[in-house]
Structure 1
Amino acid sequence: MELSQGTKKLLEQYQLWYQELQPKEAEAVLSVDEVAASVASFYEKIRGVVDWREEHLLRKTAIERIFKRRVLFAGDQKDFAEAFLQELIRGGHLPNKRVPVSMVETVQVIVNKYVFLHDHVESKDQKDIKDWILTIGACKIEEIFSNPRRERALIECMSQDMATRVFLRKKDEAELSDEDRKLHIEIAVQRALFKLDEATISLHLLEKFYPQWHEQPIEARKRIEKLLHDAVGERFYQVIERLDTPYLLLGDLMTLNPNDFSRLALVSAEFEETLKKAYYARLKKLEGRMGRAAFFSTVSVFLSKVLIALSLEVPFDKYVVHEFNLKATALSIAIPPLFLLFLVLTVTSSSEENLQKVLLEIMKITYETERKDRHEVAFPKRKKKGLVSFIVKTVYLATFFVSFGAVAWGLIKLQFTLPSILIFLFFFSLVAFAGTKIRQRSRELMILEQKEGFLSGLFDFFTLPIVQTGKWFSGKLARYNVLVVMLNVLIEAPFQVFVEFIEQLRNFWKEKKEEIH
């Protein structure tokens, strides 16, 4: 069977990516002192527990944080890039003695561009737009070190395919232009395939559809923000997220050896066996990633709960109400992380039926076959006012009070004080939201529709208000995380000065040792 045009085009890009990976002529590289790097790397690991992020966002988050701090505190930007890259290397975000010195100039050009935009933009929301510009700049810098050719190619391949398969319902077609439909599909594909955050997706959209955005950054941002937060985008994502597994596995096979893919695809038995191996390899990685996510989330929640218990709950119980209950305190610390573990460990990541469905879909994508499967998206209904709407909202509100009321009643029976109950409910909602997100991620290989039984449906019905509350709290914490702000301003800046001092001191010592003959 002949390869489809989409597969051929994708394969060409993977072959180019593979060529770019081949060793080049030896050139000078950046290096940092190993002792200073060990100190800085230890700090980054500690910070990773306090300000935990998903693995695929770790380096991008570090680049953004360090970039913004250095722009804030640095005076002259001329030698910005070299010190910036050295800090990333010391923190373990880039490999030591592997980053070419030529990268300094490349990064400096990007820094100059975005710092200039940052310094000269004028807007009513001055602080907000300036922060956004630096965030986009950080994404651009991160992209230099990830060689995005294959990711961009896979996004393009799936987006073009989905544009011929995912549509609004006939009665809703007038609600959205075909251009915006394709834009929403591309955004959904980026979220589904690589779990890209809003900033990275914004950069991709700006470069592809608004190449002159730097001339009118405020207007470009408004357009992008409108697309990213449009309710219909979530509807497209729900459909596309379930269809991305075949593309991921196709990309995995091409990554292994793009020059051998054409031959492999023509030998059906070998091709299918290799696909199965790729599927189980990705499943193993997924389970490992979810395990680490569960561990770090649990540790983060546990440490935060212990800190609050020792600083607020215990002193209040002992010195205000004079009713300290060790059992209640122990339960308030133990239950949230245990509940999180329960949510994470009780999810199914794969099945034999799912594997067979994935293999079938890969065959459809790889070869020139007529695919007639069409997926329809319902346009979000406008909020209606009336008796039915009032009843639905009333039922949801009642569920909210029942869910939180039942938990609070149980805590009262366990002799929790009022402050302890409020703090527990706060943490419990955060944990419910975090656990739900991890459960969703753990199903990323599933393309079969999830079947819900009566008990799981009932559980979701009563936990939804708690999860929604946790989502709201999570958004506020991400914006006003006092501990992270303290780390950035009071600890990180002077700490990095100390690390740089260690490196300079050791370099001085080495020079003096070399002078001894």
Structure 2
Amino acid sequence: MNNLTPALKRLVERYQDWYRSFQQEPDRVIHVDRASSKDVARQQQHLFRKSVILKILNRELIKNKNNEIAALLIKELIRKRYLPNDSLPQDKVQRVQEIIDRQVFILGHAPQRQRGKTKAQLQNWLLSIAACEIERTLVPQKEKSLLDYTTEVMNQRLEGEALNELEQEEKETQIFLACQEVLLGLDQSVVAYYLLLRKFPAWNDPSQDQLIDLAVDIYSLWEEVRESLNHPRRKIRAICRKYEPSFLLLNDILKENLSSVEQLKNPNWTEKKIKRAYHERIEQLKHKLFRTALFASSVIFFLSLFSFSILKITHLTFLSWAVIGLSAVGLTVLTGLLTITVGPPPSKNLSLITMKVMRTIYESKQRTHSIEVLNYSNSASRALTALFYLLTLAITAIMIIWPLVSFELPLLPALVFLVFLSLIFTVRYRLEERVERLEVGERKSLLRNITEILSSPFRKSENWLTTNRKNYPLITGLGSIIR
């Protein structure tokens, strides 16, 4: 692999180690007699599994005073088909129990209150971290290797006065976070867990002295993680997004060719694999777009019909059944049009993305990007930006509601219509995001600008819920469907 970049060589070695670890048959495995027949979509499985782990931890740590719940937790996950039966080695029980014991020790020796945070809040945060750690212990992910690689690559390509003002460690941390958010799409709890590992490398296996120090300083460490997560890195994310197609396809190639990955040094072989991975992703994308269009249209029809019917039945406003039916059909048709017209990238995208991936693999000297300002640094600028956003949203809403009211539609149904319109454009925005993950360059059009404006209320609400919600499987599942 002499032609590969040094960073990629290290990534390949990590993937090969990961592949070899799964070729070894464990001596003893965990068996459960009765497992449910429930199946979970592969791309959503880790989200559901992590949420269920958190739910079990919250429940069992209250009931079991001795905290010996690892075996119970694993067997419950197997019964519910979140883990395979007769597959996990027995030593996973001990490893999971060590994770639980560590969290319990930290909680037991941490101060009751510090830095404006209570112990109850600390417990919620630590258990969310524990759920991530347990989930990745039971089902090891390749994402950490890819994350280290993308962080190293982007760290070499980003420069500028704004980044130079940061300490090297903080600069690498912000790039590390941007790579997680943009390139891997990890949720906040997983991002926080990986950041915790970065700030405290001994987190997974601390000595007794380190564990005591960790318990005393846990509030400070939590605050460091929170401050890093809240740091403005909008422009770093924007540049990382340009490299998302390359990293996605590179990951696909490595994942599907672990036994023959040494062939990467052959450019012809690599080019064929890039095109194959791209075509497979495009086919998956087409099916996803079509399914989402059908699903969204059905949901909007029944939900709008139900909502307008409630307004009529409760006498909150006067609406004829004809108007209700026409509104529901109109919103459904609009949903179908706005979703079905989100097509895959143009044909020229294949050659562009092939060149980009080839450069990522073979060229040691890469183009650098300069960042002079990370984000708006003062409250006045942020306030002006927020005011401009609210004014734009208000003007757009008035332009939509005014014609509806002019046709003698009552104000309340018009507002409900506007809410559904925002929801429809949010679905379109998410579909466009999926397409852009494989597209080199940006899509710019009037419809794109309208989509961004009208979808912003739901998107901002979704971001808030992602940061502040409880981790229940139903909420997790709904969030993954929207995305």
**TM-score with structure 1 setting the length:** 0.76
* Superposed counterparts of 1:90-129, under 5 Å: 90-118=79-107, 121=110, 122-123=112-113, 124-126=116-118, 127-129=120-122
What letter corresponds to residue 52 of structure 2 in structure 1? I
Give the C-alpha shift of residue 296 in structure 1. Answer: 5.5
Q: State which of 454, 461, 471 in structure 2 corresponds to 1:466.
A: 454
Superposed CA deviations along residues 72-97 of structure 1, whole A, max 9, x for unmatched, are 65343544223322332233322233
Which residue of 2 is the match for residue 197 of structure 1? 187
Which residue of 1 is the match for residue 220 of structure 2? 219
The alpha-carbon distance between structure 1 residues 397 and 478, as it changes in their structure 2 partners (threshold 3 A), is closer
The alpha-carbon distance between structure 1 residues 416 and 352, as it changes in their structure 2 partners (threshold 3 A), is same
Query: For the Cα contact (< 8 Å) 2:129–2:189, is it kept in 1?
Result: yes
Matches of 2:346 and 2:169, distance apart in 1: 37
Superposed CA deviations along residues 386-419 of structure 1, whole A, max 9, x for unmatched, are 9xx97x8776554323211122224435654443
Which consecutive residues of structure 1, in runs of 5 or more, have no partner in the other structure? 489-517
- The alignment status of 1:157 with 2:149, answered yes or no, reads yes
Give the C-alpha shift of residue 9 in structure 1. Answer: 1.4
What letter corresponds to residue 186 of structure 1 in structure 2? F
Matches of 1:364 and 1:96, distance apart in 2: 43
Q: State which of 391, 404, 410 in structure 1 corresponds to 2:397.
A: 404
Report SS of the residue matched to 1:147. Answer: coil
Q: State which of 145, 168, 175 in structure 2 corresponds to 1:185.
A: 175
Which residue of 1 is the match for residue 210 of structure 2? none
Which residue of 1 is the match for residue 127 of structure 2? 134
Report SS of the residue matched to 2:314. Answer: helix
Superposed CA deviations along residues 355-384 of structure 1, whole A, max 9, x for unmatched, are 2222222222322x3534111234223358
Report SS of the residue matched to 2:201. Answer: coil
Q: State which of 325, 331, 347 in structure 1 corresponds to 2:320.
A: 325
Query: For the Cα contact (< 8 Å) 2:436–2:442, is it kept in 1?
Result: no
What letter corresponds to residue 272 of structure 2 in structure 1? E
Query: For the Cα contact (< 8 Å) 1:287–1:442, is it kept in 2?
Result: no
- The alignment status of 1:176 with 2:147, answered yes or no, reads no
The alpha-carbon distance between structure 1 residues 396 and 211, as it changes in their structure 2 partners (threshold 3 A), is closer
Matches of 1:374 and 1:207, distance apart in 2: 28
Which residue of 2 is the match for residue 513 of structure 1? none
- The alignment status of 1:356 with 2:354, answered yes or no, reads no
Give the C-alpha shift of residue 301 in structure 1. Answer: 5.5
Matches of 1:485 and 1:259, distance apart in 2: 38
Q: State which of 66, 70, 75 in structure 2 corresponds to 1:86.
A: 75
Matches of 1:21 and 1:200, distance apart in 2: 23
The alpha-carbon distance between structure 1 residues 288 and 2, as it changes in their structure 2 partners (threshold 3 A), is same
What letter corresponds to residue 324 of structure 2 in structure 1? T
What letter corresponds to residue 454 of structure 2 in structure 1? I
Report SS of the residue matched to 2:159. Answer: strand
Matches of 2:473 and 2:353, distance apart in 1: 47
What letter corresponds to residue 86 of structure 1 in structure 2? K
Instruction: Provide the identity percentage.
Output: 21
The alpha-carbon distance between structure 1 residues 105 and 486, as it changes in their structure 2 partners (threshold 3 A), is closer
Give the C-alpha shift of residue 200 in structure 1. Answer: 0.7
Give the C-alpha shift of residue 348 in structure 1. Answer: 4.0
Report SS of the residue matched to 1:86. Answer: helix
Query: For the Cα contact (< 8 Å) 1:115–1:134, is it kept in 2?
Result: no
The alpha-carbon distance between structure 1 residues 401 and 25, as it changes in their structure 2 partners (threshold 3 A), is closer
- The alignment status of 1:268 with 2:267, answered yes or no, reads yes
Matches of 2:474 and 2:353, distance apart in 1: 45
Matches of 2:369 and 2:417, distance apart in 1: 43
Give the C-alpha shift of residue 434 in structure 1. Answer: 4.1
* Superposed counterparts of 1:285-300, under 5 Å: 285-292=284-291
Superposed CA deviations along residues 208-255 of structure 1, whole A, max 9, x for unmatched, are 222367432222222222222222x22111111221322332232222
Query: For the Cα contact (< 8 Å) 1:325–1:415, is it kept in 2?
Result: no
Q: State which of 433, 441, 444 in structure 2 corresponds to 1:449.
A: 441
- The alignment status of 1:422 with 2:421, answered yes or no, reads no
**TM-score with structure 2 setting the length:** 0.81
The alpha-carbon distance between structure 1 residues 353 and 274, as it changes in their structure 2 partners (threshold 3 A), is same
What letter corresponds to residue 455 of structure 2 in structure 1? V
The alpha-carbon distance between structure 1 residues 416 and 89, as it changes in their structure 2 partners (threshold 3 A), is farther
Q: State which of 204, 209, 229 in structure 1 corresponds to 2:199.
A: 209
Which residue of 2 is the match for residue 433 of structure 1? 426
Matches of 1:11 and 1:125, distance apart in 2: 42
Matches of 1:86 and 1:303, distance apart in 2: 39
Matches of 2:242 and 2:425, distance apart in 1: 23
Superposed CA deviations along residues 443-471 of structure 1, whole A, max 9, x for unmatched, are 1111x22142xxx23x4445544322223
Query: For the Cα contact (< 8 Å) 1:399–1:462, is it kept in 2?
Result: no
Give the C-alpha shift of residue 29 in structure 1. Answer: 2.4
Which residue of 2 is the match for residue 313 of structure 1? 311
Matches of 1:485 and 1:151, distance apart in 2: 23
Which residue of 2 is the match for residue 242 of structure 1? 242
Give the C-alpha shift of residue 439 in structure 1. Answer: 1.8
Q: State which of 132, 136, 139 in structure 2 corresponds to 1:146.
A: 139
205-214 or 185-194: bigger deviation: 205-214
The alpha-carbon distance between structure 1 residues 435 and 90, as it changes in their structure 2 partners (threshold 3 A), is farther
Give the C-alpha shift of residue 333 in structure 1. Answer: 4.3
Which consecutive residues of structure 2, in runs of 5 or more, have no partner in the other structure? 204-213, 476-483
Superposed CA deviations along residues 169-202 of structure 1, whole A, max 9, x for unmatched, are x4x3554333222211111112233211121111
Matches of 2:303 and 2:91, distance apart in 1: 43
Matches of 1:103 and 1:303, distance apart in 2: 46
Query: For the Cα contact (< 8 Å) 1:302–1:334, is it kept in 2?
Result: yes
* Superposed counterparts of 1:384-395, under 5 Å: none
Give the C-alpha shift of residue 335 in structure 1. Answer: 5.2
The alpha-carbon distance between structure 1 residues 344 and 166, as it changes in their structure 2 partners (threshold 3 A), is farther
Give the C-alpha shift of residue 156 in structure 1. Answer: 1.4
70-79 or 297-306: bigger deviation: 297-306
What letter corresponds to residue 182 of structure 1 in structure 2? E
Matches of 1:434 and 1:235, distance apart in 2: 25
Query: For the Cα contact (< 8 Å) 2:393–2:454, is it kept in 1?
Result: yes
The alpha-carbon distance between structure 1 residues 394 and 258, as it changes in their structure 2 partners (threshold 3 A), is closer
Matches of 1:306 and 1:485, distance apart in 2: 28
How well do the aligned residues superpose, as a CA RMSD in angstroms? 3.5
Report SS of the residue matched to 1:352. Answer: coil
Report SS of the residue matched to 2:269. Answer: helix
Which residue of 1 is the match for residue 29 of structure 2? 28
* Superposed counterparts of 1:337-352, under 5 Å: 339-352=334-347
Matches of 1:207 and 1:477, distance apart in 2: 25
Which residue of 1 is the match for residue 479 of structure 2? none
Report SS of the residue matched to 2:348. Answer: helix
Which residue of 2 is the match for residue 256 of structure 1? 256
Query: For the Cα contact (< 8 Å) 2:163–2:171, is it kept in 1?
Result: no
Matches of 1:413 and 1:57, distance apart in 2: 49
Matches of 2:150 and 2:227, distance apart in 1: 23
